Amino acid sequence: MTENNRPTTISWEIPEFEIRERNRNWYLFATLFFLVCIFFSFFEIINWKIIFLGANSNFIFPLILITAAILYIMNESRNPNILDFTLSSTGVKIGNSFYDYDIINTFCVLYKPNEGLKRLYFEFRNGLRHPRLSINLYDEDPIKVRNFLKRYLDEDLTRTTPPISEQLTKLLKL
């Protein structure tokens, strides 16, 4: 449907999360890093001597690491659900979640075909309650998406690169 020759909604499918390809070296490095962190929770090195911290050991940190590792392994073993993503005149719908435009501060479409970058970002008014939302545009026309959102939201023209947190996540294959 169109209104004044403009689309009233734009929809496409997105995975619940992105799967990163990791080789054997990535898993070896992650395991080594995990073991080093646990080691230094209970020991310290002074003058090239390993000293057990005893009662001064950090017992909570290894528990957090082990819990995170278990959750990570459980999550990695499943395939992402495919969610319907819809931009409408009232807000953004992702699967069963709906975000009214009133709670979104700005949007940004980054399109750099030479770098393989084609993403849509939403910054929320309450950054603590809702983190930044990053959506892959896949085969959607970035100009069409941008022009649609400009009717309802302010565009962040200062963003020219993905956020550092997203770049680190991609670099570390998390």
Whether residue 57 sits in one domain with residue 94: no
Indicate whether 129 pLDDT > 80. Answer: no
List, for residues 24-59, the tens digit of each pLDDT value.
Answer: 999 999 999 999 999 999 999 988 998 888 888 889
Whether residue 48 sits in one domain with residue 134: no
Among 45-59, 98-112, 125-139, name the most confident range. 98-112
Domain with residue 146: its CATH number is 2.30.29
Whether residue 164 sits in one domain with residue 102: yes
List, for residues 55-94, the tens digit of each pLDDT value.
Answer: 888 899 999 999 999 998 888 888 889 999 999 999 999 9
DSSP codes of every residue in the chain: -EETTEES-EEEEEESSPPPP--HHHHHHHHHHHHHHHHHHHEEEETTEEEE-GGGS--HHHHHHHHHHHHHHHHHTSPPPEEEEEE-SSEEEETTEEEEGGGEEEEEEEEEGGGTEEEEEEEESSTTTS--EEEE-TTS-HHHHHHHHHTTSEE--S--S--HHHHHHHHHT-
Whether residue 70 sits in one domain with residue 119: no
- Identify the pLDDT of residue 2: 53
Whether residue 121 sits in one domain with residue 39: no
Q: What b/e readout covers 51-85, taking b as 16+ CB neighbours within 10 angstroms?
A: eeeeeeeeeeebeebeeeeeeeeeeeeeeeeebeb
Quote the domain boundaries for residue 65: 24-76
Q: Which of 34, 61, 76 is the last residue in one of the domains?
A: 76
**pTM score, two decimals?**
0.79
Whether residue 163 sits in one domain with residue 93: yes
Contact residues for 146 (Cβ-Cβ < 8 A; gap 6+): 109, 155
Number of domains in the chain: 2
Alpha-carbon distance 66 to 68, whole Å? 5
**Is 29 in contact with 19 (CB distance < 8 Å)?**
no
What number is the average pLDDT over the span 108-131?
87
Whether residue 88 sits in one domain with residue 12: yes
